[in-house]
Amino acid sequence: MPMASVTQDAYCPRCGGKDFVKNGRVRNMQRFRCRSCSLNFVDEPKHRWPPSSKLINIMFARAGEGPETALEIARVDRWILEAKEHHPWFIRALAEFAVNNASRRGETLESLLIRTWELYAHITERHPEPFYDVLAPDLYLDMFIIGDEPFRNELRDWLAAHSSHSNFAG
């Protein structure tokens, strides 16, 4: 029985699923377990930054308009390190960047993916090619999960056309 009726806007942060059950409490907050991917999560985590906010703060820091206090600097430095380690939040933030920019006028999926990989290079200060085989599947999966149906169809077609596996689109 889905618990979405208890928390209308709750969804699994990993797979986006809405089929979850109560699974104890943590720090006085109700914890849930996603039935699709088994992730434990809380509906409204305390003191957590959304992936897109972390990404924006890193971008400001890279542009020289970053944090001022020692705590803020340490936080952004940690996020940059996590980005270089391909933490799930960073992959999700890149996917959100791509999906949110997909509807820009004159933007093709090809140019959007190039801009996404350029953002990766800007944030991590390294060329993405050596990491492509490890990072791309998770990135494209997150893009597929959070994108709307037309975006998913376009991404599926692009991946099928650019995949070395002829059975991908199946």
- What pLDDT sits at residue 7? 53
Considering only CA atoms, give the Rg of the chain. Answer: 18
Reported as a pLDDT band with limits 50, 70 and 90, residue 170 is: very low
- What pLDDT sits at residue 8? 59
**Across residues 18-27, what is the average pLDDT?**
88
* Top-confidence residue, 47 or 64: 64
- What pLDDT sits at residue 109? 92
Reported as a pLDDT band with limits 50, 70 and 90, residue 3 is: very low
pLDDT above 90 as % of the chain: 59
**Across residues 37-51, what is the average pLDDT?**
80
- What pLDDT sits at residue 5? 40
Across 26-30, 97-101, 123-127, least confident range: 26-30
- What pLDDT sits at residue 71? 85
* Top-confidence residue, 1 or 64: 64
Reported as a pLDDT band with limits 50, 70 and 90, residue 18 is: confident
* Top-confidence residue, 45 or 134: 134
- Taking each helix axis as running N to C, give the angle between helix 88-101 and helix 132-146, from 0 to 180 degrees, rounded to the nearest 10: 60
